[in-house]
Structure 1
Amino acid sequence: MANARELALQTLTDILVNQAYSNHALNDKIEKNDLTVQDKNFMAELVYGTLQNEQLLNFYAAPFFKGKVKAWVRILIQMTLYQMLFLDGVPEHAAVSEAVAIAKKRGGQFHGKLVNAILREMTRSPLASLDTIEDETQRLAIETSHPLWLIKLWSKQFGQEKTQQMARANNERVKMAIRVNAVRGTREELKQRLQAEGVECKEGYLSEDALIVLKGNPLKTQTFKQGWFYVQDEASMLVARALKPKHHARVLDTCSAPGGKTTHIAEMMRQTGKVYAHDIYEHKLKLIEENVKRLGLTNVVTSLQDATKLNECYDKESFDAILVDAPCSGLGILRRHPEIKLTKKPSDLDEIVKIQENILEAVAPLVKVQGTLVYSTCTVNRKENDKRVEWFLNKHPEFELDQTLVSRLPEVLAAQTKNGMVQLFPGDYQTDGFFIACLKRKA
């Protein structure tokens, strides 16, 4: 039987040193090793807990490092410290002894003694206090393990209180949300089917299509194989509702991988019309095709295309609706991908804005008069969101914001849906941070 802690260390090293995606690295290790359900859950807890608190753990651990240590040793110390500080069910002595055993196995007696010495000193000495950090912004950044530049950005754009809320929400555990395939049946029917296979769910907070998984793994069920649902965050589910495609419509999804919004749109059209789904990467296009096939949808057409060049592929005014679920900085999905906090730089935000603008420019002429253009991102950054919509409208006076968007979204979002746009923040409704804007072509 594989050792969960050892595999967690390998996974964290892949992420922190080799810049692998957290979900891919974790799933790869789980699939390739014989683990009990309990060990899988423990391993995931170690990986995501250490990643989410990496900066805080480093703040506590740094004073105990005498000189340079190898990256895997630093990560092992952080992972062990996470267990000691955050996991009540793990005895301190067990966490330490397991770490020493892993260090000996991986680096020999020297590293075993080194790790033992560092951890023993940690157990005997008081850890540094966050109160020693006088600057409130810097203290929040370290406490919640967010880069200082991001805390400053959010504080400027949304205020200190909202920034604190978001930063703390980003370190909370995520429950899986799934979207019923309306072509197969109703949400209640899906709930009953999953319950019969040992999976407990409750209705979602926002989306009428959503179930929140409370117990069990729905991905291991026959219900999943038979295409009854798609795993998707509730905020993301609102995009297709905002678009509200009509039956027999012709819809363009510009950046559609892995296919969540594409398939939702197709389901809402009840197998009529066509949804043209594109992505720039072949392996991502295959993901769309696999999901379309599993869900049993017949009205999706996939094609490998660069979204910035779609105006070269289609005639002007040839689509009733277009979705630009734009490439973005991903600052709204830090709960799911905490490694973004460690790798994203301020300059990345400026670079992605150019791509967003190029995509919008390419598809604007393809929208029919009275047609709909929905722009969405999974980020919390005004420069990529409402400021990008403002930029677009200044260049394209033939479009206007659709004030009726509020009628297509949950009533609870009415107060924050303004001028055809809505920004969801992490921590508001147990969802990711997400932005949606709906525009109409008037001429």
Structure 2
Amino acid sequence: MPTETVSPRGFALADAINIRALAADVLAPLLRQHGSLNTHLPDALAHCPPQDRALLQQLCYGSMRELFRLQALAQKLLQKPFKPQDMDLQALLLIGLWQLRSSRIPAHAALHETVEATLVLNKPWAKKLFNAVLRRYQREQDTLEQQLADDPCFTWNHPDWFVSKLQHNWPDHWQHILAANDEQAPLTLRVNRRQQSREQALARLNAAGIDASTCRFSADGLTLAQAMDVNALPGFEQGALSVQDEAAQLAVQLLDLQPGLRVLDACAAPGGKLCHLLEVAPELQAVTAVELEPARAQRIADNLQRLNLQLECQVLTADASSRDWWQGQPYDRILVDAPCSGTGVIRRHPDIKWLRRGEDIAALAQVQLGILANLWQLLPPGGRLVYATCSIFSQENERIIERFLKQQADARHAPIEAPWGEARPFGRQLFPQPGGHDGFYYAVLSKATDT
């Protein structure tokens, strides 16, 4: 008999693990608004055979990416919804529908494994139901989806509040943003110029049979034609390459780093922008990174270690909205990578669409303004502060800068002249691009010397 183990959230798993059941175990708490893919998926991957980990991620990310369409289909197919204690079955149904609708998995395999997963979840009464519902979808897919053509959730695959806010913020762009959010983001790399030039990195990738191209706006960026295990990239484990979206790589250009400067990276986790600035500016006088959450601060330390930069930066587990950690010496450059809604990176974190609420935006805006006002006191006259978010909502972006400028008499807005994004009255907004960069926002402020 096969031995059994227990999954992170309790159901029995045999040696021959049903990956659909494991995926349902990941998604069920998300449907209850508990945790995220980032918090639940790593445990499941640890219980998953190595050869099936890519499939597990595909099932989880694919189902969350199309969640609102799948929910509408499930509601159409079920005579009555599942009870709250059967949210694992709701998750499993979404996974089954996603396989039949959007994956390359053969339909017979998707059907069999999904139906069998009801037994692994210890709910054998659902086996007949799942077999009937999924086969009905197979037979009537076109008719069912035509009947949902006027349902906004099915059409736009985003919550109503999100679509409404996006229409208000970006009347000329909202449909393109929604469509881009539903695509899988490309795998973009940052070349460590301390070890090699971008041209050398591209040549090494091509020699290894890996198709890549240079990014349009970042001088250190490369985009792979197809995603792959980054540990298999030549030089990755030695720190020659890092994963970072092109939009995030633009922060270094805006900081205008010079030898001998003191630099602060606030809200620094996971450390991509921090490592980038250390790579391109080795002659800085001092660099400090601040991160509130200990686990995320550890991720910064891990990234610095891999790149052999751990001796060139001080990492503090501290609150960027206070100054308890500050030793009193000003910073010439400050990067405020503010906590935000993450609505510009939905392609990489599709559960944001489900987990985020409209009221979260106003609360986040208060946090952002508080951090900005606090850190402004650490900047000397003539210093530069770069404000960044991975949000596409103006309430977290240009309106924050507008409010801040009204509050701070010595703050000056510096327009960004760049070939990327859209110029706004304050700062510059990037939208997610198919095959390109994520959604992002940047603004540059300087402190006056003559107030």
SS in 1 for 2:236: helix
2:51 pairs with 1:51: no
Q: Is the 8 A contact 1:202 1:212 kept in 2?
A: yes
SS in 2 for 1:347: helix
Which residue is equivalent to 1:190? 201
Name the CA shift for 1:132/1:144 in 2 (closer, same or farther; >3 Å). Answer: closer
2:99 pairs with 1:83: yes
**Where do 1:27-426 residues align within 5 Å?**
27-36=42-51, 39-69=52-82, 70-87=86-103, 89-125=104-140, 127-129=143-145, 134=150, 139=152, 141-159=153-171, 161-195=172-206, 199-215=210-226, 216-221=228-233, 223-297=235-309, 298-310=311-323, 313-315=326-328, 318-403=330-415, 405-406=416-417, 409=418, 411-413=419-421, 416-418=422-424, 421-426=427-432
CA shift, 1:312, in A, is: 6.4
Give deviations 1:264-283, integer Å, cap 9, x for gaps: 11222124321110111112
CA shift, 1:387, in A, is: 0.2
CA shift, 1:435, in A, is: 0.3
Which residue is equivalent to 2:12? none
| Partner amino acid, structure 2, of 1:57 | L
Give deviations 1:178-207, integer Å, cap 9, x for gaps: 111122221122233444555442212321
**Number of aligned positions between the proteins:** 428
Structure 1 unaligned segments of length 5 or more: list them: none
SS in 1 for 2:284: coil
| Partner amino acid, structure 2, of 1:269 | A
CA shift, 1:14, in A, is: 4.5
Q: For 2:282 and 2:425, how far apart are their aligned partners in 1?
A: 30
SS in 1 for 2:235: helix
Q: For 1:170 and 1:51, how far apart are their aligned partners in 2?
A: 12
Name the CA shift for 1:198/1:11 in 2 (closer, same or farther; >3 Å). Answer: farther
Name the CA shift for 1:412/1:121 in 2 (closer, same or farther; >3 Å). Answer: closer
Q: For 1:220 and 1:230, how far apart are their aligned partners in 2?
A: 12
| Partner amino acid, structure 2, of 1:75 | A
Give me the TM-score of the superposition, normalised by structure 1: 0.90
Give deviations 1:262-309, integer Å, cap 9, x for gaps: 111122212432111011111211111121121122421111211011
Q: For 2:54 and 2:112, how far apart are their aligned partners in 1?
A: 21
CA shift, 1:335, in A, is: 0.7
Structure 2 unaligned segments of length 5 or more: list them: 1-15
Q: Is the 8 A contact 2:185 2:435 kept in 1?
A: no
Q: Is the 8 A contact 1:22 1:339 kept in 2?
A: yes
CA shift, 1:351, in A, is: 1.1
CA shift, 1:83, in A, is: 1.6
Q: Is the 8 A contact 2:21 2:118 kept in 1?
A: no
Name the CA shift for 1:249/1:114 in 2 (closer, same or farther; >3 Å). Answer: same
Q: For 1:421 and 1:361, how far apart are their aligned partners in 2?
A: 17
Task: Between 60-69 and 225-234, report the one with greater CA deviation.
Answer: 60-69
| Partner amino acid, structure 2, of 1:280 | L
Name the CA shift for 1:378/1:63 in 2 (closer, same or farther; >3 Å). Answer: same
Give me the TM-score of the superposition, normalised by structure 2: 0.88
SS in 2 for 1:107: coil
Q: Is the 8 A contact 2:204 2:234 kept in 1?
A: no
Name the CA shift for 1:124/1:268 in 2 (closer, same or farther; >3 Å). Answer: closer
Identity of aligned residues (%): 29
Please identify runs of 4+ aligned residues in structure 1 that moved more than 6 A.
none
Name the CA shift for 1:287/1:17 in 2 (closer, same or farther; >3 Å). Answer: same
Q: Is the 8 A contact 1:181 1:227 kept in 2?
A: yes
Q: For 1:31 and 1:181, how far apart are their aligned partners in 2?
A: 30
Give deviations 1:114-140, integer Å, cap 9, x for gaps: 211222333344543456665xxx62x
Q: For 2:334 and 2:28, how far apart are their aligned partners in 1?
A: 40
Which structure: greater helix fraction?
1
| Partner amino acid, structure 2, of 1:174 | A
Q: For 1:231 and 1:24, how far apart are their aligned partners in 2?
A: 20
Task: Between 383-392 and 108-117, report the one with greater CA deviation.
Answer: 108-117
Name the CA shift for 1:220/1:20 in 2 (closer, same or farther; >3 Å). Answer: farther
C-alpha root-mean-square deviation of aligned residues, in Å? 2.3
